[in-house]
Amino acid sequence: MRWVVVFALTALALAVISHIGIGIYALKASSIIWASLALGIVNTFVRPIVRLIALPITLLTLGLFGWVINALMLWLVSDLVPGFIVQGFMPALWGALLLGLISGGTHWLIKHT
């Protein structure tokens, strides 16, 4: 049941981010749903491997490289999902930050209500 809530929150966060105008766009609502599903799959299977490989850099940057890894995962999702567009690395970086803030805030609200 928890994964359904996480999926819905990710979709909501991606919808908000795609309307801000930072270089991340969804051409259709279904693109947001597919991107949310793809991001969940990528974060489950690909991200742990990348985090393990990048562990020395992450330690040297005191964890800030994790933000770059999240941006790369978001950028990867844009290549996998038609209609979900991330126009470069910097929009992916800002999108990863906003996705983390929105998701973290909504998770906190749900946990404390």
CA separation for the pair 82, 58 (Å, rounded): 31
Closest of 52, 51, 101, 95 to residue 74, by C-alpha = 95
Closest of 13, 37, 8 to residue 24, by C-alpha = 13
- CB count within 10 Å of CB 98 equals 17
What's the pLDDT at 28?
A: 96
CA separation for the pair 55, 63 (Å, rounded): 9
Q: Which residues contact 75 (CB under 8 A, 6 or more apart)?
A: 86, 89, 92
What's the pLDDT at 6?
A: 84
Report pTM: 0.91
Token couple for 44: 């489950």
CA angle 105, 84, 90 (to 5 degrees): 65
pLDDT for 37 beyond 90: yes
The band of 112, judged by pLDDT with boundaries at 50, 70 and 90, is confident
- What kind and span of H or E run contains 38? helix 29-45
What's the pLDDT at 24?
A: 97
What's the pLDDT at 5?
A: 83
Q: How confident is the model over 99-109, as pLDDT tens digits?
A: 999 888 887 88
